[in-house]
Amino acid sequence: MLGRVNHIAIAVPILEEAAAIYRDTLGAKVSAPQSLPEHGVTVVFVELPNTKIELLEPLDDLSPIAAFLQRNPAGGIHHICYETPDINAAAEKLQAVGARVLGDGTPKIGAHGKPVLFLHPKDFNGTLIELEEV
Protein backbone atom coordinates (compact mmCIF):
# COMPACT_ATOMS: atom_id res chain seq x y z
CA MET A 1 0.00 0.00 0.00
CA LEU A 2 2.75 2.49 0.95
CA GLY A 3 5.38 3.63 -1.47
CA ARG A 4 8.19 6.08 -0.91
CA VAL A 5 8.01 9.21 1.22
CA ASN A 6 6.76 11.90 -1.13
CA HIS A 7 7.33 14.81 1.24
CA ILE A 8 7.52 15.96 4.83
CA ALA A 9 5.38 19.01 5.51
CA ILE A 10 6.44 21.79 7.87
CA ALA A 11 3.96 24.47 8.95
CA VAL A 12 5.58 27.91 9.04
CA PRO A 13 4.33 31.31 10.17
CA ILE A 14 5.93 33.25 7.27
CA LEU A 15 6.43 31.25 4.08
CA GLU A 16 8.81 33.71 2.41
CA GLU A 17 11.19 33.68 5.40
CA ALA A 18 11.13 29.88 5.68
CA ALA A 19 11.76 29.47 1.93
CA ALA A 20 14.71 31.87 2.16
CA ILE A 21 16.29 29.74 4.90
CA TYR A 22 16.18 26.64 2.70
CA ARG A 23 17.21 28.50 -0.48
CA ASP A 24 19.79 31.01 0.81
CA THR A 25 21.17 29.34 3.93
CA LEU A 26 20.98 25.67 2.97
CA GLY A 27 21.37 26.09 -0.81
CA ALA A 28 18.29 24.10 -1.76
CA LYS A 29 16.10 24.57 -4.83
CA VAL A 30 12.73 26.00 -3.73
CA SER A 31 9.63 26.12 -5.94
CA ALA A 32 7.46 29.17 -6.48
CA PRO A 33 4.61 29.62 -3.98
CA GLN A 34 1.35 27.87 -4.85
CA SER A 35 -1.99 28.76 -3.23
CA LEU A 36 -4.31 25.84 -2.50
CA PRO A 37 -7.62 27.37 -1.35
CA GLU A 38 -9.30 23.95 -1.03
CA HIS A 39 -6.69 23.05 1.61
CA GLY A 40 -6.42 26.57 3.12
CA VAL A 41 -2.68 26.92 2.51
CA THR A 42 0.04 28.40 0.37
CA VAL A 43 2.95 26.01 -0.20
CA VAL A 44 6.44 25.81 -1.61
CA PHE A 45 8.43 22.64 -2.15
CA VAL A 46 12.08 22.28 -1.24
CA GLU A 47 13.51 19.77 -3.69
CA LEU A 48 15.96 17.23 -2.29
CA PRO A 49 17.66 14.32 -4.07
CA ASN A 50 15.48 11.69 -2.33
CA THR A 51 12.25 13.54 -1.38
CA LYS A 52 10.75 17.00 -0.87
CA ILE A 53 10.02 19.27 2.08
CA GLU A 54 6.70 21.09 1.81
CA LEU A 55 6.54 24.42 3.63
CA LEU A 56 2.94 25.38 4.50
CA GLU A 57 1.57 28.81 5.39
CA PRO A 58 -2.12 29.36 6.23
CA LEU A 59 -4.19 31.31 3.71
CA ASP A 60 -6.34 32.74 6.51
CA ASP A 61 -7.40 32.22 10.12
CA LEU A 62 -9.79 29.39 9.12
CA SER A 63 -6.96 27.24 7.78
CA PRO A 64 -6.09 24.08 9.74
CA ILE A 65 -2.49 25.34 9.56
CA ALA A 66 -3.51 28.52 11.41
CA ALA A 67 -4.80 26.36 14.28
CA PHE A 68 -1.55 24.33 14.22
CA LEU A 69 0.51 27.54 14.39
CA GLN A 70 -1.55 28.81 17.34
CA ARG A 71 -0.37 25.74 19.25
CA ASN A 72 3.14 25.87 17.73
CA PRO A 73 3.93 29.55 16.98
CA ALA A 74 7.40 28.86 15.57
CA GLY A 75 6.02 26.16 13.27
CA GLY A 76 6.96 22.51 13.08
CA ILE A 77 6.45 19.21 11.31
CA HIS A 78 2.80 18.95 10.31
CA HIS A 79 2.53 15.70 8.34
CA ILE A 80 4.32 13.02 6.34
CA CYS A 81 3.11 12.16 2.85
CA TYR A 82 3.50 8.65 1.47
CA GLU A 83 2.87 7.60 -2.10
CA THR A 84 0.33 4.90 -2.89
CA PRO A 85 -0.53 3.36 -6.28
CA ASP A 86 -4.32 3.30 -5.69
CA ILE A 87 -5.68 5.81 -3.19
CA ASN A 88 -9.23 4.45 -3.24
CA ALA A 89 -8.08 0.88 -2.54
CA ALA A 90 -5.82 2.19 0.24
CA ALA A 91 -8.71 4.14 1.80
CA GLU A 92 -11.00 1.10 1.68
CA LYS A 93 -8.39 -1.14 3.27
CA LEU A 94 -7.59 1.39 6.00
CA GLN A 95 -11.25 2.04 6.83
CA ALA A 96 -11.89 -1.72 6.95
CA VAL A 97 -9.35 -2.02 9.77
CA GLY A 98 -10.73 1.00 11.63
CA ALA A 99 -8.37 3.77 10.52
CA ARG A 100 -10.05 7.15 10.21
CA VAL A 101 -9.84 9.05 6.92
CA LEU A 102 -10.29 12.77 7.56
CA GLY A 103 -12.96 14.84 5.87
CA ASP A 104 -15.68 13.01 4.00
CA GLY A 105 -13.29 10.27 2.87
CA THR A 106 -13.23 11.48 -0.72
CA PRO A 107 -9.80 12.24 -2.16
CA LYS A 108 -9.07 15.89 -2.96
CA ILE A 109 -6.55 17.15 -5.48
CA GLY A 110 -3.30 18.08 -3.77
CA ALA A 111 -0.42 20.40 -4.64
CA HIS A 112 1.00 17.99 -7.22
CA GLY A 113 -2.33 17.74 -9.05
CA LYS A 114 -2.90 14.20 -7.76
CA PRO A 115 -5.55 12.75 -5.40
CA VAL A 116 -4.70 12.93 -1.69
CA LEU A 117 -6.26 11.78 1.59
CA PHE A 118 -5.32 12.50 5.19
CA LEU A 119 -5.43 9.92 7.99
CA HIS A 120 -6.21 10.78 11.61
CA PRO A 121 -3.05 11.21 13.71
CA LYS A 122 -4.58 9.36 16.68
CA ASP A 123 -4.56 6.19 14.55
CA PHE A 124 -0.87 6.61 13.57
CA ASN A 125 1.16 7.30 16.70
CA GLY A 126 0.29 11.00 16.77
CA THR A 127 1.39 11.63 13.18
CA LEU A 128 -0.89 13.10 10.53
CA ILE A 129 -0.45 10.96 7.42
CA GLU A 130 -1.16 12.10 3.88
CA LEU A 131 -1.50 9.55 1.10
CA GLU A 132 -0.91 10.70 -2.48
CA GLU A 133 -1.77 8.57 -5.47
CA VAL A 134 1.08 8.13 -7.95
Q: Which residues are catalytic?
A: 130
User: Rounded to 5 degrees, what angle do the CA atoms 83, 89, 93 make?
Assistant: 100
DSSP state of 91: H
Distance (Å, rounded) from C-alpha 52 to C-alpha 2?
A: 17
Looking at this protein, which amino acid is placed at residue 4?
R
Asked whether 4 and 51 are in contact (CB, 8 A), the reply is yes
Centroid of chain to Cα 72: 16
> What SS3 class is residue 65?
helix
Rounded to whole angstroms, what are the CA distances from 65 to 56, 130, 133? 7, 14, 23
